[in-house]
Amino acid sequence: MHPIIHARTTPDKPACILTSSNQILTYGELDELANQGAHLLRSLGLERGDTVAVLLENGFDIFTVAWATQRCGLYLTAISCKSSAADLAYIISNSGAKVLIASDALASVAEQAFIQAGLEGLHLFSSAPGRTPFIQARADQPTTAIKDACAGCDMLYSSGMTGRPKGVKPQLPEGPIDEQTPLMRMGQSLYGMDADSVYLSTSPLYHAAPLRWAMVIHRLGGTVVIMDRYDAEQALILIERHRVTHSTFVPTHFVRMLKLPEEVRTGHDYSSLRAVVHAAGPCPVPVKQAMIDWWGPIIHEYYSGTEMCGITALDSAQWLSKPGSVGRAVLGVVKIVGADGQEVPPGTPGDIYFADGPRFEYHNDPEKTRQAYNDRGWATLNDIGWLDEDGYLFLTDRKSFMIISGGVNIYPQEIENLLITHPDVEDVAVIGAPDEEMGERVVAIVQPRIGVVTSPELGEALRRFVREALGGVKCPQQFDFRAELPREPTGKLMKRLLKAEYEGMQPRP
């Protein structure tokens, strides 16, 4: 259950395929490069529990480095390639990284961050003047395994809903490096992942889910097909070309595929697909129904977070009987807690907690860690939801995104899920903006589909659309239009940027 085993049994099998260049990295090559990286890291004095930070685009390097840290007992901190020098410097400093590895394209911002962080003893590998790239530095190292191999893991930083990103630090594994992980068990039991899996990686590998699922495939001996960036039509082409069996998406990816022309959507062979998994936010019911109608009952969903303190999951058949649910717990136990800290009855919204799940901490932030746990030791991701009588979880929204207008709690996700189904809407965000009379007013920020002309009439049509479906209380008082909404490369909406923008505007009476 580890690439070191597959390097011995199937050394010539592709571990990765880079679609932009059709290059292949075999398991034999992956193992040798990871061993060289491990020797280099040990030669720099890194010991179990130390941290290596990487600033790398989608490609082979992130895996050769990741598997090097995995056999050294190190934490891997993969940082967003979109980070500013200031944010990068903060994460390097906060994580206590002893090594930073940057790609050629990001050498300049890495150098700026290195100077801003002002850290003594940080080893920076890059192609900047006076530096040495990591792949060059490791080239003279042995290709054999290090003698003190031990399991490592990741310490990834959340995007941060407010304030600085938070480093999610799990406990290092204590067992052998090839010991089965909870995510492996989930992939095998729920999605049928195995050595024959061909996994299409659609999102940036510096994010938790894409990196972790790709490494699960490597543990099992399958092949990871890497997209350098998501493109809806290209994803369909790659599924057919590489006979993809598994892939992970986010709801935005589904929306973009469904809005492709009919001849594009029906012009490819998807018969190789065994399981398509989505997460990273609730999927609008009509969107998921359309995907099941299109690809069949192979659509799976799970709910979790970078913290991995618990997971819920369900398959297509379960979802069809419980539309809108994100499933039942497969890791930890779901608890819904009211404002008084007590559990609430089924059907009652409250804060979502997980009991009996893996523990974590926010690195160097004991106060945030304390706030993540209640007095019973249950952990929360700060989402709101409710359980039905059968234990199925339904998400309502992020706690930080809830709008309080005139004393009424309004959940933007419900309005967004409706508006995205309108034929004139390409993308949408609903936020609360300051309002002198109501406290907050509901604002819908809409990206129209190409060819749709924005006008007051369009805004009024969308207003009627929401009012008829959800009633007047949840209907946005304001519709604004813009060419594009800020989304991370994974498709995750950066709503915090929009909220900050509107909070800086003059409140309307």
In angstroms, rounded to a whole number, what is the distance separating the alpha carbons of residues 6 and 99? 28
401 close to 431: Cβ distance less than 8 angstroms:
yes
77 close to 95: Cβ distance less than 8 angstroms:
yes
Token pair in block for residue 330: 């497969």
331 close to 382: Cβ distance less than 8 angstroms:
no
List Cβ<8 Å contacts ≥24 apart for 458-466. 458/424, 461/424, 462/419, 462/422, 462/424, 462/425, 465/418, 465/419, 465/422, 466/415, 466/418, 466/419
3-state secondary structure of 167: strand
Eight-state DSSP code of residue 162: S
Helices 208-220 & 61-70 angle (0-180, nearest 10): 70
345 CA to centre of own chain: 31
Tell me how far CA of residue 141 lies from CA of 18, 32, 42, 76, 432, in angstroms.
Answer: 25, 10, 11, 20, 55
- Strands of 439-448's sheet in order across: 425-435, 439-448, 478-481
pLDDT at residue 190, as a whole number: 96
Measuring CA to CA, which residue among 327, 100, 70, 331 is closest to residue 214?
70
| DSSP, residue by residue, 429-479 | EEEEEEETTTEEEEEEEEEEPTTPPP-HHHHHHHHHHHHHHH-STTS-SEE
pLDDT tens digits in sequence order for the chain, 509 residues long: 899 999 999 999 999 999 999 999 999 999 999 999 999 999 999 999 999 999 999 999 999 999 999 999 999 999 999 888 988 999 999 999 999 999 999 999 999 999 998 877 899 999 999 999 999 999 999 999 999 999 999 999 976 544 678 899 999 999 999 999 999 999 999 999 999 999 999 999 998 999 999 999 999 999 999 999 999 999 999 999 999 999 999 888 998 899 899 999 999 999 999 999 998 777 888 899 999 999 999 999 999 988 999 999 999 999 999 999 999 999 999 999 998 999 999 999 999 999 999 999 999 999 989 999 999 999 998 888 999 999 999 988 777 777 878 667 788 888 998 999 999 999 999 998 888 777 788 999 999 999 999 999 999 999 999 999 888 888 999 999 999 998 877 677 888 888 888 887 644 43
pLDDT at residue 505, as a whole number: 67
Domains of the chain by range and CATH? Answer: 28-174 (3.40.50.980), 220-398 (3.40.50.12780), 402-503 (3.30.300.30)
Token pair in block for residue 499: 């909220």
How far separated are the first and last CA of the chain, in Å rounded?
A: 62
Q: Is 313 exposed, middle or buried (0-12, 13-18, 19+ CB in 10 A)?
A: buried
In angstroms, rounded to a whole number, what is the distance separating the alpha carbons of residues 299 and 318? 11
431 close to 443: Cβ distance less than 8 angstroms:
yes
Q: Report CA torsion sign: 342, 345, 351, 353.
A: positive
